Every structure is written in structure tokens, then in C-alpha cells.
Amino acid sequence: MSTNNLKREASNQAAKPNNKRAKNSRQRSDKRATKQPGQPLDDRREWTREWAGLPKSSDITQSGPKLPKRKCAVIIGFCGTGYNGMQIQPHGNVKTIEGDIFVAMIKAGVISPDNSTDPGKVNLQRAARTDASVHAAFNVISLKMIVDLPDTPDIVEKINEHLPNHIRIWGFVRTQNSFDARTSCDSRSYEYLLPSYVFIPPSPWSNLGKRLKSSHPFWEGVDETEDIASMMTRKRAYRIDSDTLDRARETLAQFEGSHNFWSYTIGKGFRDRSSQRFMKKLTIQDPFLVEGNEWISVRFYGQSFMLHQIRKMIFMLVNVVRTGTPASLIPTTYTDLPIVVPKAPGLGLLLEKPHFNVYNSRVKENNEHIDQNAGERINKAVEKVHKQKGKDAEAGKTDVEYPSDEQIKSETTKQINGDRRELIDFVPYEEKVEAFKHEYIYKRLRKEEVLGNVYSRWVGMIDSHEGQQLDYLNPEGVITESAIKAGKKGVKGGQNAQLDGADNSGVKATLESDDEDNYDKKALKSGELEG
């Protein structure tokens, strides 16, 4: 084939459309064509153009010199009531913890005007992307921020001035440049608080009680028409017995280890590898009394958690125990059998803290290496100046000023100290955080439970449910065909708003279940939430 023919053939090949690429392009065009007027063509582009609640690029005017940014881990705590989760979202009507913190940082000056329009510009990440209404005693965000502000001796105090009292910055540390709060976090600890009365078996006149032929001494002499106030007085006087508590602990232990938790989240299938999660340690603390009400704390320590996972685990724990279902049911929920596992209320969920064991070990090793070589590094710095001084003398340069050995040692020591990094340590803040938890989390939690009877309403919805989704709650501990058939309707972690732990509708700060589900669909697009 001649050279001209080869060129012609190459030109023809280049001109041929890639069918697969063309098909994908048409599909994208079709999808864009269905968008409503004024709706962004691409959510990701919209995110970098205008974030919810943040300044627009057109509003930014640069004033003063640019100050250097440093990679930091910022330690925070918050009461999540009334918020649609931790992670900042591009939707204008979505209120998030990160959104409030980011705006406060802009106002405090640790984020420059140039970087204020998009959190991506400062590499904002978070250790745990908590779900709507979930609280945190400790969480960590990482970003590049200005740490040396003129006339600002206390940056933490400055940021907190622009935050509501239920969101606090506890402190921050300089980190290695490679630090990322999400990927550097190797495990998380959560707490779920609930009143002990949720373990009371279903009433004999409820749908679930009739199916199970339930009978329990608590219901003896109780009239099913009894008013709510009297019923709640009875429930709050209940004290869990040791046998029930032992069964709860035995049931919770079934969740420990590495399992496929696809039924305990939404948007994932059985074969989705990310459904495999490792639960390191799960415990139930001894019951405690607060203002005459008995509460139980369930602690979760795991590598990571998926959206709604803990709330669904709490549902399963509570209802396996209160219905007399054997704990052996739990392992069968890790199989490919589709079942509906509703959520417990988000009200009682608290992120205790993320863990950075691997990162802290690396920092320790690096600091030890720096310390071991500090003396040699100082000597080399002094020697370098002496050599340069000798060369300049040989060259006849007599007007050069040199730092003294003490000045060299002092400057080099500053550089060495600047190279060292602090550990991410929560201990210095524990006293403040304990007071914060009681004032802004536990107190609000108990108040909302008393005002709205949140947990009583939740178990009431479960007991009155008429469908077959919960037929796996039975004395044999087997997943029935009826439960599987009902579960197939929501095969990827089936949801049922009527069964979910809808928070108290009388408390405006919380979300109803249907609102949560709509938010979940948006949230799953932007990143996996936790809890």
C-alpha cells in the first residue's frame, strides 16, 4: 500500500465514530433532554459553581495579602437535631453541620474569600458522614486552612463565635500533607441510647401480639383503651430484668465480626462488596436512671458503617428480644434472602469518636525519626554556614554577614519543631465534651422523648403493622417465605416508611421518615452516609 493510501486509510479510521462512545453520548443527551427547565445538567458541576449557603464567585472581592494554608485536622462536636446530616450538600434547602462550620470558618478568616465558594478548594473531608439528626461528641474534618491569622491569638475561639452553641470546634492540629479525615480514619465508635421500655413485648391485642400469641405480665390488668399519658407512666416505670438484658447482649453479639450487612442499609445489593463490614466490639452497658426513666446505652465499635446501618441493627436487636425470636435469626440476615429491616429513630444515635490509630502510629514513628536526627541536622546546618564562610573568605568577600552558631541552632530547631506533627488526641477535650453531651445532646434527647413519646410511637407502629414484612420475627427464628416475598419489593435494603423510626412530628427540628427517604436518595449520590 502506498504512503498516500496509508494516510487515507488512517484518516478514514479516525473519522469513523466509536459506536459505544456515540451510544453513550446519545444516552447522556437523552438524559439531559428530560431535565426540567432551570435544573442543572450535572450535579457535580452545580456543586462547584454554587454550594448551598456559600458565597457566589461573583460576590468575591480579594482584599489584603494571601495567607498560607496548612493541612489540619479539626476536632468538632455537635447536636444533629434539625440537620440533614454532617456532609455539606449542594441543595439550597438542605441544612448540614459542615455547611454551618464552613461558613463560620469563612467569617473567622481561616478560609480565604478565594476559597469560600467551594469546599473542594480546601480539600474538605470528614471522618464520619453522619446521617440526619445524628449527634457527635467527637468528629474530625480535614482541610487546608489559614492557621496564622493577624491579631487572632485563639483561632478556635474565633470560629466558635460564629457558630451556634450546639456546634463546637474543640481544637485542631497540623497534620501530614497526605492526611485525609475519611481515608485516614480506621474505625469509629457510636453510642445508641434508648429507654428500656422498648423491650416490653407487644401487647396481646396488637397485630404483632396476636400473631405471636404474646402474653407478658406487664400487660396484665391494662385496658387497651387506656389514655396515652397513663400508658406512658406505666412504660416509664418499667425496669428491664436480668434475663431480658442477657438475651439482648447475646443477640447483639451475633453482629460482631465481618458480615454482609446489605439488609441493614439502602441502595446496596447482596453482591455489592461494600456491604461487607467489620464490627470489632459491641456492648450493652448496665441500665441507668435519669429523672425516673431507665435508659440503656448500646456501644458500637466498627471499622465503618453504612447509611442507617446502626439504626437498623437497633431495630433488629430490640425486636428479636421483645418478640422472643431466637438470636440465631441474625446470621440468616447476612444471606441473599431479601427482607425488610426498618430503622429505629435517629434521635438516640451519637458518634462517640472516630479512631486514627494507624495515622497516629505513623506520626509517632516520623517524630521519633526527626528527634533522632535533630542533633545531626543542627550540626550540618552550622557546618554548612562555616564552609560558606570559608569559601567567601578565599574569594575575598569581606562584606558578608553570617548568623552566629546560636542563631543557626535556634532557626534549625524551629524548622525541626515545624516538621513534627501532633497526634489526633481527644483526651484534652474530654471534660468539655462530657459537659456538652449532657447539656446539648442527652438533655435534648430526653426532652424530645418525653414530649413526643418517640420510642413508644415507634414500637406502636411496629406492633400495629398489618403486612408480612416482619414475619421473620417468630419463635423458630427462621425467615419465612412470606417475609421474603414482602422483602423482594425492596430488594436493596427494602424500606417501609410506615415501619421506620419516624421521629416526633410534634418536634419541628426532626424529620419525618418520608422526608428522610427523599433526602437519602440525594445523599447517596454525593457520598455514603453513616449511622
Segment 368-382 shows an average pLDDT of: 95
> Which pLDDT score, from 0 to 100, does residue 55 have?
74
Spatial contact of 297 and 349, defined as CB atoms under 8 Å apart: no
CA distance 105 to 163: 9
CA distance 168 to 77: 5
Query: Identical fold at 47-56+68-185 and 189-355+429-526?
Result: yes
CA distance 302 to 264: 14
0.75 cut: is pTM over it? yes
Q: How far, in Å, are 70, 79, 137, 372, 426 from residue 352 at the CA level? A: 27, 12, 5, 36, 11
> Which pLDDT score, from 0 to 100, does residue 49 have?
44
Beta bridge partner(s), residue 171: 75
Q: Which residue out of 100, 118, 131, 463 is catalytically annotated?
A: 131
Domain residue ranges of the chain, discontinuous segments joined by +: 47-56+68-185, 189-355+429-526
Nearest by Cα to 247 from 278, 201, 215:
201
Give 92-109 pLDDT, tens digit per residue: 678 899 999 999 999 999
Beta bridge partner(s), residue 231: none
Segment 173-185 shows an average pLDDT of: 96
Segment 413-427 shows an average pLDDT of: 95
CA distance 334 to 459: 24
The verdict on whether residue 455 carries a ligand-binding annotation is no
Nearest by Cα to 184 from 131, 126, 144:
126
- 346: which 3 cell numbers? 435517629
CA distance 29 to 17: 16
Give 31-51 pLDDT, tens digit per residue: 434 444 444 333 333 444 456
Q: Flag the least confident range among 119-128, 235-244, 495-504.
A: 495-504
Q: How confident is the model at residue 490 (pLDDT cuts 50, 70, 90)?
A: low
The CATH class of the 47-56+68-185 domain is alpha beta
Q: How far, in Å, are 124, 197, 206, 456, 522 from residue 219 at the CA level? A: 53, 12, 12, 15, 43
CA distance 270 to 273: 8
> Which pLDDT score, from 0 to 100, does residue 508 have?
31
> Which pLDDT score, from 0 to 100, does residue 249 have?
98
- 245: which 3 cell numbers? 438484658
Is the pLDDT score of 3 beyond 50? no
- 120 or 524, greater pLDDT: 120
Neighbours of 482 (CB within 10 A): 14
Spatial contact of 98 and 124, defined as CB atoms under 8 Å apart: yes
DSSP 68: P
Using DSSP bridges, classify how beta strands 288-290 and 135-145 pair: parallel, antiparallel or unpaired: unpaired
The torsion angles phi and psi of 380, rounded to 5 degrees, stand at -65, -40
189-355+429-526 CATH:
3.30.70.660
Which SS3 state, helix, strand or coil, does residue 204 take?
A: coil
The verdict on whether 59 is a catalytic residue reads no
Helix (H) or strand (E) holding 312: helix 309-322
CA distance 81 to 340: 26
